[in-house]
Amino acid sequence: MTSRASIFLSRTVPPAGRALLEPEFSIREWTGDGFITREALLQGVVGANALIVHPPDRVDKLVLDAAGSQLKVISTMSVGLEHIDIAECRRRGISVGYTPGVLTETTAELTLALLLATSRRIKEGFKAVEKGMVGWQNGHWLCGKQINGCTVGIVGLGRIGLAVAKRLQPFGVAKFLYSGHSEKPGGTEIGATFVSFDELLRNSDFVVACCSMNEENKGLFNKDAFSKMKSDAIFINSSRGVLVNQEDLYDALKSGQIMAAGLDVTSPEPLPVDHQLKTLDNCVIFPHLGSATTDTRNVMAVTAAKNAIAGFKGQTLPSPVPL
């Protein structure tokens, strides 16, 4: 009797995706608390024909060696690919699939929630309620920043950046600016002005990072960038944690160089419990909830499963990473 193909899951896959995998593979998976450990990943992949992984599971030469030459496909439940050694996969002829386009709307919604929570000082408000609302009589107590009449700068007007801008339009944004490698058709759609990164920093009341990550923009938001922003500006990042020099961000927030920051992504994830950014009232940190709706996670799981199945069968992946 021929043994079934094997797939290893570095995290439990949502039901819609798992239902597709069960008829095709013998499933092995990590079910421990938190992210899979390095040791467990190296052990779990042994003999697998396919993998489904998630950031920050690091799939490098060691993992590929541990898996063995029968590994045909790696499917990641993410848009980001920085955790996978794409060049090594290419060299070995291993297909790689990802899940682009399915989390645009939910990430845009989350970005808006983060922007509102930060600008209206919701974190401080929660704390104030717990402490008896001391100072409530003061007319300036917990006054935040409104969106209406402001200039919003979006760094990276791709799918998510454009979706964020469209959701902000009904709030009465006075002007949209955006920066990137080139002008985008979406800029015309929302009446946005294409400007340099420096000009965006100098003139925006809200600076929203929506750009993809590459070697050029690691640490893009650093001391120099924060020094160019308005003193009452708010920085929002729902893209990648490595875009930000977090030491420089802490200094900018602590000194009052900028008003506040809202982060759905950090480096590392999760941040250590005692990380200095967590001590600041003017820094709102979400636990990477960008795609965290039941509908979106199920769609991501289905896409990841279809990629894994197609890759194992030697078929074209529905959502392949160009190798």
Residue of 283, 248, 243, 250 whose CA lies nearest to 266: 243
- List Cβ neighbours of 68 (8 Å cut-off, separation of 6 or more): 46, 47, 48
pLDDT the model gives residue 322: 82
Count each helix (H run) and each strand (E run) in the chain, helices first. 12, 12
Q: Which of 54, 83, 275, 288 is catalytic?
A: 288
Residue 320 lies in a domain: no
| 299 shares a domain with 254 | no
User: Phi then psi for 268, rounded to 5 degrees?
Assistant: -85, 180
State which amino acid sits at residue 59: V
In b/e form, how buried is each residue of 50-87, taking b as 16+ CB within 10 angstroms?
Answer: bbbbbbebebeeebbebbeeebbbbbbbbbbbbebbbe
Structure tokens at 238: 């729902």
Residue 76 lies in a domain: yes
Domain assignment present for residue 147? The answer is yes
Range of the domain at 64: 6-100+294-312
Residues 131, 203, single domain; the answer is yes
Question: Do 254 and 130 share a structural domain?
Answer: yes
Assess whether 187 and 215 both reside in one domain: yes
211 lies in a domain? yes
Active site (annotated) includes residue 275: no
Element holding 42 (H helix, E strand):
helix 38-44
Q: Can you tell me which residue has the tokens 């750009």? A: 211
Q: What is the pLDDT of residue 138?
A: 74
Based on the fold, state whether residues 109 and 230 are members of the same structural domain: yes
pTM: 0.89
What pLDDT score was predicted for residue 2?
A: 53
**Looking at the structure, do residues 135 and 236 belong to the same domain, yes or no?**
yes
Distance CA 259, CA 229 (A): 10
How do 151-155 and 175-179 pair as beta strands?
A: parallel
DSSP string for residues in 44-93: HTTT-SEEEE-TT--B-HHHHHHH-TT--EEEESSS--TTB-HHHHHHHT
- 62 and 120 fall within a common domain: no
Q: In what order do the strands lie in the sheet with 73-76?
A: 26-29, 6-9, 50-53, 73-76, 95-97
pLDDT along the chain (323 residues), means of 10: 84 95 97 92 98 95 98 95 95 96 94 97 89 76 93 96 98 97 95 98 98 88 98 97 97 98 94 96 96 94 98 97 83
Asked if residue 319 belongs to a domain, the reply is: no
Side-chain-facing half-sphere of 262: CA atoms under 13 Å: 26
Domain count within the chain: 2
End-to-end CA distance of the chain: 35
- The answer to whether position 318 is within a domain reads no
Tokens of 98: 């990802």
- Identify whether 166 is part of a domain: yes
148 in the same domain as 241: yes
Q: Does 212 share its domain with 305? A: no
Pair (126, 242) in one structural domain? yes
Q: For residue 259, what pLDDT is reported?
A: 97
User: Which run of H or of E encompasses 285?
Assistant: strand 283-285
Kindly state whether residues 96 and 112 are assigned to the same domain. no
- Whether residues 178 and 251 share a domain: the answer is yes
Residue 33 sits in a domain of what CATH number?
A: 3.40.50.720
Instruction: Answer yes or no: is 1 within a domain.
Output: no
Please tell me the distance from the alpha carbon of residue 55 to that of residue 63, in angstroms, as a whole number: 14
Strand order from edge to edge, sheet including 234-237: 193-194, 175-179, 151-155, 206-209, 234-237, 260-263, 283-285
